[in-house]
A and B are shown apart, each in its own frame.
Chain A
Amino acid sequence: MSETITFTIDGVKVQGAGGQTILQAAQDAGVYIPRLCAKEELSPFGSCRVCTVLVDGRPQTACTYPIAEDMIVESDSEQVAAIRRDIIDMLFVEGNHYCMFCETSGDCELQALAYRFGITAPKFPYMFPKREIDMSHPEIFIDRDRCILCARCVRASRDLDEKAVFQFVGRGPDKRIAVNAESRLVDTNIDVTDEAISICPVGALIRKKGSYAVPYGQRKYDHEPIGSDIEKARKAE
């Protein structure tokens, strides 16, 4: 059994297991730390930076930083919220996110985070990148306009589906998600039931059938902000 580590989040003493990241230990304790690239079933990646916290006063990604005895973590403060707000804002302007007709609207983690942080419009200028849509597969499509480069699909395809369908190509602002075959999704061995599709936090990887089938009022984030499930667990205790 791993050792118990005691540390502090926002002034509250929390116990976690050795080897856990701040994000994991906080979640077990009912403290929600926003995240996009992190997912329980995937290995930590640290790309989106939305989970940024202050560890002993320094910004760190909670999804990759291991807990340590007597560590002081600051998550629920205006300073940290401002950092996260800017990061979310940049993710919006870096892509082409048209929530008004996106079929993931209401179920999208990026949109839900924007609502949670009270972002009604980005403060940074839109970059309007030119990105390609891949509709070649009969059951799945990639809309790169909505991709936030979180690499969930890259890791899920490799680690959960054991296929390695996705990878990144390009650098900096030209970085984009690609597939491991020639150039089209239909040329890969992806299957409509693959975890890599359902794990996408936005509307970049979508199954073609069933779009808009869930009416307003029944979508995942229609009634409660993202993270409410984790926070409820703490309140229930």
Chain B
Amino acid sequence: MSTTDTKRIVIEPVTRVEGHGKVTILLDEQKQVTEARFHIVEFRGFERFVQGRPFWEVPVIIQRLCGICPVSHHLCAAKAMDIIVGADKLTPTAEKMRRLMHYGQTLQSHALHFFHLVSPDLLLGFDADPKIRNVIGVIEKFPDLAVQGVMMRKYGQEVIKATSGKKIHGTGAIPGGINKNLSIEERDALLADIDQQMEWARGALKVARDYTVENLDKIASFGSFDSNHLSIVRQDGCLDLYDGNLRAIDAEGNSIFDQVAPKDYLNVIAEEVRNWSYMKFPFIKEIGPENGWYRVGPLARINTCDFIDTPEAEAARKEFMAVTDGKPNNITMAYHWARMIETLHSAEKIQELLNDPDLQGEDLLVTGERRDEAVAIVEAPRGTLFHHYKVNDQDQIVMANLIVSTTSNNEPMNRAVRKVAQDHIAGAAEITEGLLNRVEVAIRAYDPCLSCATHALGQMPLIVELYDADGGLIDKKVKG
């Protein structure tokens, strides 16, 4: 056995996130954190799978890389294929059906994350017994809230089914438009429940808001750090989850770039490869890899946008921004509050769209002059999603590049882990449950989808291993 005091702590896999990841924390002789890394250990393959396939298959194939927010990939690929077929402006029915699909997805994905994955930490406490700190514990102690989570997820899935044909992996969006409109029966079935959804979304927003405000002292520094923020916004600066141009701001709210068209993303974003993770590290070119990393997702979106075009979410945004005096909010745990603002926004948008007669229109498709390259961006539930394709003259995909939101949040998640490790693990003589939970809680705030980021599936028991500097196993714990 080695006698060196340097230690390596491994948390593998990280639980209650989508997919399979592992954390390693290196301690020096004084048991201070020297390095903390969030590894993505799955293999990524979809960018290769689609090569050689007809371009119109891509929106249907590519969404299969995830079962949680496949609609994001479906819509992002469809938007790219709109460009390929020369459909520069969709019909109102097509655009609004796609938007409805997207808001349905955001609602269900955010609800799943908040009610089922995160609420055990917030409602039962980080240090609660892991035997009860799970969704079953929430069901026992807060049954109404648990049921709401299930029912909101179900509603979002019904919206997706009505717009894409299936709850998971539908075919609705096709190059140049959509393959169906919303029937009166489908509309009325969804309208019947929307008021209830709004009510539950308000309730969830209150839980997230109250938790953040009441625990501000405790969570303000928890896994927090200053960072840049990136998202797409509408031309007038409004929050828009489906379409817009890129905007990046720094931790103080100063503009780094604004209204950069999706096709020009490579002018402002680059990706760095590190040898210990399958996931790449994107950064803002102008600033460079050292400091150019940025956050995406609900927190970044609420920070970057100038306003929200639905009244209740806008009121909530103003309250959210007031906490940091109108400056960007850099508190990692504030992701949950931001996420619930977007949940309410999605419910408001669904209500607005369901009352729009354009959804019963018959004009579904447009085409134009064929192109051979396309970049599209949507705001997926977890953040900005880039799809970039090249197509040959025989209609085959020859290049695909995806930057998924979890990839953009890669460096921030590593920073969060390092911050938590430094604050809570350093100097500790052994691995405690609460210690490790805090690392997971910080990662979970980003709602990472590791399947998506590396495009594979994984099992999720938790293994924690403590190594010395020579790789000798000192301690090991298994749960799950």
Binding site secondary structure of chain B: loop
- For B166, the chain A residues whose CB sits under 8 A away are 216
Which one, B115-123, B167-175, B374-382, is touching chain A?
B167-175
Q: A101-B57, A141-B54 are in contact. Are A214 and B179 (CB under 8 A)?
A: yes
Q: Is B60 an interface residue (CB 8 A)?
A: yes
The answer to whether B165 touches A216, judged by C-beta atoms less than 8 angstroms apart, is yes
Contact in complex: B395, A135 (CB < 8 Å) = yes
A215 interface hit (Cβ, 8 Å): yes
For the complex, is A217 an interface residue (Cβ under 8 Å from B)? yes
For residue B326, CB closer than 8 A to chain A, the reply is no
Are the CB atoms of B60 and A212 closer together than 8 Å?
yes
The reply on A100 being an interface residue by CB < 8 A is yes
Q: Would you call A211 and B57 a contact (CB within 8 A)?
A: yes
Cα of A103 to Cα of B61 in the assembled complex, Å:
10
Given contacts A208-B395, A215-B165, A215-B180, contact A135 B170 (CB under 8 A): no
Number of A residues near B (Cβ < 8 Å) is 15
**Contact between chains at A100 and B64 (CB < 8 Å):** yes
User: B61–A135 contact, CB under 8 A?
Assistant: no
Q: Tell me the smallest distance from the CB of B474 to a CB of chain A, in Å.
A: 44
For the complex, count residues of B whose C-beta is within 8 A of A.
Answer: 21
A133 to B54, CA, bound (A): 10
Q: Residues of B contacting A214 with CB < 8 Å? A: 179
Q: Please tell me if A213 contacts chain B, counting CB pairs below 8 Å.
A: yes
- Most chain A CB within 10 A, of B52, B53, B165, is at B165
Q: Which residues of A contact B56 (CB under 8 A)?
A: 103, 208, 211-212
Contact code string A126-146 (vs B, CB < 8 Å = 1, else 0): 000000010110000100000
A213 with B395: in contact, given A100-B169, A141-B54 (CB under 8 Å)?
Answer: no
Q: Report A151 CB to chain B, min CB distance, Å.
A: 24
Are A215's CB and B64's CB within 8 A? no
Quick check: is B221 within 8 A (CB to CB) of the other chain? no
A236 to chain B, nearest CB (A): 29
User: CA of A208 to CA of B60 in the docked complex: distance in angstroms?
Assistant: 15
Complex CA–CA separation, A135 to B55 (angstroms)? 11
A-binding residues in B (CB < 8 A): 52-54, 56-57, 60-61, 64, 165-166, 169-172, 174, 179-180, 365, 394-396
Instruction: List, sorted by A's number, 5 A–B pairs whose CB atoms are closer than 8 Å.
Output: A133-B396, A136-B394, A212-B56, A215-B165, A215-B171
